[in-house]
Amino acid sequence: MTAFIKYQPYLPKDRVINLTLPDLLVCTICDGIAWLPVACRNCEKPFCLPCIETWKTEREDLITCPHSCSEFIQRACPPSIIHILNTLQVTCRYKTNGCAETLSYNNLEKHEKGCGYRLMTCSGCDEKIVQKDFQEHENNCALVLLTCKECMSVYQRHQQDQHTEITCLRVQLHQLRDRMTQKEKDYNDKQHALESQVNDLNQILAQISI
């Protein structure tokens, strides 16, 4: 799903390389190119759907149009505006990370969702890595947590050599002892509960026979 920050443009104007009619395409709320555009029925000015939804929730009574109409009544964006938007050529939002792609407006979101230059956070070192290099980084990061399949111990990759077969067997032995101790405790608890019930029943029987 597309991520939005309140009143900040998802698509800034400076990312469009062939912007010739900005007055027709800019959302006056965020000052970016209208994204998921809807329009005002009175003035037909386009707005980003998330922008106008936020705008409406912040107004308790009459919802005025951000473009100075007396009232905002939402409608679908005019086909002529949609056509112009779809002619725009836009640089990827991850250009600063190395992506050199230029996309049409209507193909932009699909590309950016799967762009190899999106930043991902390593689960070990918290370093930001571009997606195309992420798996290789995590496969070699010394701080990534590993889990032993035999004893389920968790340790960082750089500690892997310390988790020897003998260490693993010792851990499994401790786990087995802990399980036995817990089972013994559970058994004793059940036995005490049964003895208590028997004592209660004996007291009831004694009272009945009096």
Which tens digits make up the pLDDT trace of 28-40? 999 999 999 999 9
Q: What is the pLDDT of residue 70?
A: 77
Residue 147, C-beta contacts closer than 8 angstroms, at least 6 positions apart: 153, 154
Q: What is the pLDDT of residue 67?
A: 80
Examine residue 27 and state whether it is found in any structural domain, yes or no: yes
CATH of the domain at 33: 3.30.40.10
Q: Given 72, 91, 110, which residue is the final one in a domain?
A: 91
Q: What is the pLDDT of residue 1?
A: 41
- pLDDT per residue as tens digits for the range 138-155: 999 999 999 999 999 999
Sign of CA dihedral 29, 35, 36, 42: positive
Examine residue 145 and state whether it is found in any structural domain, yes or no: no
Examine residue 124 and state whether it is found in any structural domain, yes or no: no
Domain count, the chain: 2
Q: What is the pLDDT of residue 7?
A: 65
Examine residue 106 and state whether it is found in any structural domain, yes or no: no
- What is the strand order of the sheet 74-76 is part of? 46-48, 37-40, 74-76
The low-confidence residues of the chain, meaning pLDDT below 50, are 1
Q: What is the DSSP string of the chain?
A: ----BTTB-SS-GGGBSS---HHHHEETTTTEE-SSEEEETTT--EEEHHHHHHHHHT-SS----TTS-SS--EEEPPHHHHHHHHT-EEE-TTGGGT---EEEGGGHHHHHHH-TT-EEE-TTT--EEEHHHHHHHHHH-TTSEEE-TTT--EEEGGGGGGS-HHHHHHHHHHHHHHHHHHHHHHHHHHHHHHHHHHHHHHHHHHHHH-
Examine residue 129 and state whether it is found in any structural domain, yes or no: no
CA separation for the pair 122, 137 (Å, rounded): 8
Domain assignment of residue 70, given as a range = 13-91
Q: Given 91, 108, 138, which residue is the final one in a domain?
A: 91
Q: What is the pLDDT of residue 205?
A: 85
Q: What is the pLDDT of residue 135?
A: 95
32 phi/psi in degrees, rounded to 5: -115, 175
Examine residue 155 and state whether it is found in any structural domain, yes or no: no
CA separation for the pair 159, 142 (Å, rounded): 8
**Token pair belonging to 35:** 């994204």
> Max alpha carbon distance in the chain (Å)?
105
Q: Given 37, 63, 91, which residue is the final one in a domain?
A: 91
- pLDDT per residue as tens digits for the range 84-99: 999 999 999 999 999 9
Q: Tokens 């938007």 appear where?
A: 85
Examine residue 202 and state whether it is found in any structural domain, yes or no: yes
Examine residue 150 and state whether it is found in any structural domain, yes or no: no
CB burial readout 75-110, b (16+ within 10 A) else e: eebeeebbebbeebebbbbbeebebebbbebeebee
